[in-house]
Structure formats: structure tokens, C-alpha cells
Structure 1
Amino acid sequence: MTSHQAAVSAAVAVAESHGILVHEPVVLHDSFSLRIHLRPAPLVARVPTVTALGRPSPGDALAREAAVVSFLHAAGAPVVPPSDLLPPGPYVQDGVAVSFWAHVEHDPDHVITPDAAGRALAELHAVLRGFPGELPRLGPVLEEPARLLAALAGVCEPDVLGRLRDAHAELAARLSEVGEVQAVHGDAHPGNLLATPGGLLWNDFEETTAGPVGWDLVCLRRTTRLDGHAALRAYGVDPDDPALRVYGAARALQGTLWVLARAARSPQRWGPSARAALDSWLRDPQGR
């Protein structure tokens, strides 16, 4: 898995090969991927770290993200745009995948209301319906968890791993019957909305996929950052619609697998929160 030093070195090397001087690379975010501000340029590099565990080719996800966000930006949708200082990529430098985005000033302490979040998602979906490109059908929901389950062999207790595998198999069968799909964000919670001087901007489309809008709706409904039920009402749907239940269960499983994978990479930092997430899932695998 890519180390911090390798990630920063790769990002700096690609930027400087395009004539961009980097004096002070600063890690902005380190959780499932790494975001690095390549100061003094208004440029942010994204490098997959934990997410690489669930993806045979991490660069493919970065390419899909760049394609979807470029489309949205050209259509005037409120998104953090790809960089205009160099092509966004992705690039592979010394075995490390990296893409590039504009650095946007924002207020991390801004409180996003349920009404604002719901309306923002409805507006995003309206534009995404016109995306003309090919996207994998529920790839982050079906394919990536299967790879994470394989990576967690020997990390989780065998009986727990068996329960996780059985749940994924059942949900995969149910989700294979989903009808209408479109391009969706894939991880549409308020943490991926940045409050900027110009308004709220959607960020982090690394899990973008062809899927039902219900997937994004449960991502928003399950958030602990605001009242998700109120946000769905602002979107214009019934937050208790029974049709959303399968997506809620799939989101709960997906989230649990990712935090377990993150803890396997850094047990001291992420182990306690992963244990809590797993215990929560074992008590309620339906994600209620």
C-alpha cells in the first residue's frame, strides 16, 4: 500500500514535470485516500491509499471521477473542479496513481442544514442524468466489497468474516435486480459538500457509479452530521420508503468493510472505531 512519503513524492514529481513548482506539500486529508495541497500552487493531488485495497486498478476510479466531474463542471454544476494547471490525469508515477484538482478555499466548520443538503443532491442528480459516459453498474457496492472481503481474510475472526460474506452474497443477488440506473455520486454525504464563498460544492466522486438514485439517498440519510430524514424530505422523497431498505443494508455493509480495511492498515489509529463499527453492524446488519 502506498506510504505517505511515496504519495507526496509522486504527486510532487508529476506536478513539477508540468512546470509547477512545489515548495510546501501539505496533507489536507488522510483517511481512505490522501489529499495533498501542493503549495504554493492552488493544486490538490489525490492519491488512493486504503481505497487501493478494493480496486484492482485504482487509476480507473480516478479516471471515472475526472470524467464525471469534468462533465459536471462544464454543465455548471457546483463541484470542486479538476485542475486547470495541468491535465487532471490520472497519472502513474513510480507505481503510484495520482490525479489533480483545484484547491478551493472553504469553511470546514460551516453547518450544512438538512434542507441545503437535500436540495444540493436533487440538483446534482438532475445534472448527472445527462452524463453520457460508461460507468460500472454499482461497482463500488458489489465489486469492491468482494475484494475487501478477500483482503480481510486472516484479519477478521472466521465466523465474523463468514457473516460478512453471506450478507454480501445476499445483497449482491438482490441488487442485481435493480432496474433504472443513472450516474450517481456514490458517497453523497455532507462531508463531501464544501462550504465555499460561492456556495456549497460537491467533492470526492471517487465512488461514482451507475446506480439507482436510492443509493445516494441512503448515503445522505445515514449521515450523523445532520438529520438525514429531513434532508431526504427536502430532496423530495419519503425517507422511510421501503424501496430504500436494500440500499441501507448494502451501505451499512460497505461502510463496515471499508473501516475494517482501514484499521488493518493502521490498527493503532483506526482499530477502536473499526471495532465499534463492526459491533454496530453485527447488531443491525440491515443498517437501520
Structure 2
Amino acid sequence: MSSKEFDRPALTARAVAAAVSVASTYGIRVNDPHVLADAYSVRVHLKPAPIVARIATLTPIVRSPIESWLARELSVAEFLAAKGAPVVPPSDLLPPVPHHFDGLAMTFWRYFEPVSDALPAPATVGRMQAELHAVLRDYPGDLPPLPALSDIPRGIDRLNQLGNMLPESDLTLLQTTYDRLLAQLSNPVGLWQPLHGDAHALNLIPTAKGLLWNDFEDTCTGSIAWDLINLDGEGIAAYPNAPDLATLEPYRQMRKLHAIVWVYAMLPELPDWRESAKALLDDLRGAEAVNAIDLLLSSNSPPLVPPC
């Protein structure tokens, strides 16, 4: 899909129409579909029904088959809801499975009206992560490793196929950074267990029932460090026996690399994000240059300038 042939408003309209069509097959009346979010997927409140449809529009570019990601998300959310965890559950008005229409895959969720625009306090997020992890440890299903470990290689493959998004030096930088960080993550920090995968304050919805976890598409298995990297010091302090900030650093770096590769791989479809992607890549270039200098200075290699 090239940027010339990509029409984002048309894709959004197609996604909304597909969700309304699927809902109608289950007798659900939709008079006023309202788009809540439109980035890598489209989220639409199927008003007046208490349902949010999440239609995978761009995520299948990197995540294929997308149905496996959506099915895991539904399974984990159903499990957590059954355990009484504070989560947005799948809608009970349609079967809790990935649905298909007009070439698009989608899932349906119970709608909760947000009661505030304020983000929860970092300590609240840290405490809720600990509580969520305690319930997730009993999840019986199979989960893949961290999403970055599949998204980054697939994203780099797409950049290589596109051919004109980045110079060869930057493609090499992305690959070598990934290889370096992968080696650092080979000995996991802390408990290896099921994770939310993208646990941060923006994925907590403030509702009349309290804060509810949302968006489990990245659910995975791995070190708790992966879920903790979105917390600041106050949030980490609220998580019992959390690793220290220095220990979390390789996970933070992998997450930043994940964002860079993901955004660049999507630039043909999201060209407005080019400046943000460039800023992220500039930061990576600077960080890797510092890493290279530190490695050189700490090695036993001969000095760069011969002694006089």
C-alpha cells in the first residue's frame, strides 16, 4: 500500500460501515456511530448500543494474521473479567470472537462512559499494575513473548521492502540496536509471567465503576519489567518489589526502538507522523553513538591517537 493510493478517511468510513454491518446481523440497532479513536485501529461507539467496535485497519501491516492477536486479547479480557479484575470486558451482545466484514477484522467491547479527562496518579497506576499481574499469573492460555520481538523484525522487513523510507545506514542501525538489546534481554528481569503488554495510564479508563484496564492487544508473556517501563519513580515505588530504574533501562530502550520501527513502517499510511518519527530516530542515533564511545573507552583496544 503506497501513500498515493492510501485514503485514510475512506478507510475509516469503511471500518465504521463494517462494524455497523456486523452489529446489524445480531439485531443491534446503530443510529449514530461515533468514532472515538482513529490511528492504527478505529474505535467506534455504536450508539445507542453500549458497544465499542475496534476495527483493525493498519495493525495488520505489521501483525499478521491479526486474528490471533485479537483472539488473545478477547481471551485475556474475558478471563480477567471473570476473576473480577477491573477491565473493560468484551460485549455480551455479540459472540466474543474476531468478526470479519469487507476484508476487515474487528472485536466488540462493552462501552463505559469516561467520567474524567485526568490521568490517574502514577502511584495508582503502579498499584493497579501489581494487582493486575497477580490475577494474570493464573491465566491458563498460551501467550507469545513481548510484542516488540515480532513487531520490530517485521517492521524492519517492511522498511527494506519499501526501499525509500530510510537510508541503508539507518536500517543497519535499527537492526544492530535490536540485536544488542535482544542480547541484554536474554536474561529476564524479575518474574516471567503473563503481562498486559502495553500497561500505562492512557489504557486506564476512568468510569463510574472506577478505573478499568483497556486494550489488551499486546498481551504477552515476559518479565514484569516490560509493563513497568511506562511508570515513573513514584509509580514504580508503588509496585511491590519492583526492579530499580537502572535494571529497567534495556526494556525502556527496546520499547523506544519498537516505537521508532512501528512508526516508520507505517509512514506510507500516516505521513503526518514523519516529524515525530524523525525526532525519535535522531535520539536513537545520538544514544547509539554514546554507547559506541562508552564501549570503546571501556575496552582494551589501542588508543585512537598513538602516544608521542
TM exceeding 0.5: yes
- CA deviations on 1:177-213 (whole Å, 9 max, x unpaired) are 4375211000011110111112111100110001111
Tell me the equivalent position of 2:29.
21
**Aligned match for 1:156, one of 160, 166, 169:** 166
Alignment-mate amino acid for residue 102 of structure 2: D
User: In structure 2, how many angstroms separate the alpha carbons of the residues matched to 1:285 and 1:99?
Assistant: 40
**Aligned match for 1:170, one of 160, 180, 194:** 180
SS in 2 for 1:204: coil
Alignment-mate amino acid for residue 197 of structure 1: A
1:201 and 2:205 are equivalent in the alignment: no
Tell me the equivalent position of 2:100.
92
SS in 1 for 2:154: helix
Tell me the equivalent position of 2:304.
none
**Aligned match for 2:154, one of 134, 147, 150:** 147
**Aligned match for 2:114, one of 58, 82, 106:** 106
Kept in 2, the 8 Å contact 1:252–1:285? The answer is: no
User: In structure 2, how many angstroms separate the alpha carbons of the residues matched to 1:276 and 1:242?
Assistant: 24
User: In structure 1, how many angstroms separate the alpha carbons of the residues matched to 2:233 and 2:201?
Assistant: 13
Tell me the equivalent position of 2:42.
34
Moved more, 106-115 or 147-156: 106-115
- CA deviations on 1:72-130 (whole Å, 9 max, x unpaired) are 00000000111011112201222211000011111351231111111111111010011
1:233 and 2:241 are equivalent in the alignment: no
SS in 1 for 2:90: coil
User: In structure 2, how many angstroms separate the alpha carbons of the residues matched to 1:17 and 1:198?
Assistant: 30
Alignment-mate amino acid for residue 84 of structure 1: D
User: In structure 2, how many angstroms separate the alpha carbons of the residues matched to 1:264 and 1:105?
Assistant: 34
Moved more, 100-109 or 58-67: 100-109
Relative to structure 1, the CA distance from residue 7 to residue 276 in structure 2 (aligned partners, 3 Å threshold; closer, same or farther) is same
Tell me the equivalent position of 1:224.
none
User: In structure 2, how many angstroms separate the alpha carbons of the residues matched to 1:111 and 1:58?
Assistant: 30
* TM-score (structure 1 length as normaliser): 0.90
User: In structure 1, how many angstroms separate the alpha carbons of the residues matched to 2:242 and 2:60?
Assistant: 35
Deviation at 1:282, TM superposition (A): 2.3
Tell me the equivalent position of 1:278.
281
User: In structure 2, how many angstroms separate the alpha carbons of the residues matched to 1:64 and 1:242?
Assistant: 31
User: In structure 1, how many angstroms separate the alpha carbons of the residues matched to 2:244 and 2:286?
Assistant: 20
Q: How many percent identity over aligned positions?
A: 45
User: In structure 1, how many angstroms separate the alpha carbons of the residues matched to 2:142 and 2:228?
Assistant: 22
Kept in 2, the 8 Å contact 1:253–1:285? The answer is: no
Tell me the equivalent position of 2:54.
46
Moved more, 92-101 or 178-187: 178-187
Kept in 2, the 8 Å contact 1:50–1:261? The answer is: no
Moved more, 186-195 or 106-115: 106-115
SS in 2 for 1:81: coil
SS in 1 for 2:33: strand
User: In structure 1, how many angstroms separate the alpha carbons of the residues matched to 2:31 and 2:285?
Assistant: 47
Tell me the equivalent position of 1:186.
197
- CA deviations on 1:12-51 (whole Å, 9 max, x unpaired) are 1111111111112111011222111111111111112232
* Superposition RMSD in Å: 2.0
Tell me the equivalent position of 2:12.
4
What number of residue pairs does the alignment pair up?
A: 278
Kept in 2, the 8 Å contact 1:259–1:277? The answer is: no
Residue segments in structure 1 that go unaligned for 5+ positions in a row: 222-227
User: In structure 2, how many angstroms separate the alpha carbons of the residues matched to 1:12 and 1:4?
Assistant: 12
User: In structure 2, how many angstroms separate the alpha carbons of the residues matched to 1:26 and 1:167?
Assistant: 41
Alignment-mate amino acid for residue 142 of structure 1: L
Alignment-mate amino acid for residue 168 of structure 1: Y
Kept in 1, the 8 Å contact 2:45–2:52? The answer is: yes
Tell me the equivalent position of 1:254.
258
User: In structure 1, how many angstroms separate the alpha carbons of the residues matched to 2:251 and 2:234?
Assistant: 18
**Aligned match for 1:76, one of 81, 84, 87:** 84
User: In structure 2, how many angstroms separate the alpha carbons of the residues matched to 1:81 and 1:148?
Assistant: 30
Tell me the equivalent position of 2:5.
none
* TM-score (structure 2 length as normaliser): 0.84
Tell me the equivalent position of 1:225.
none
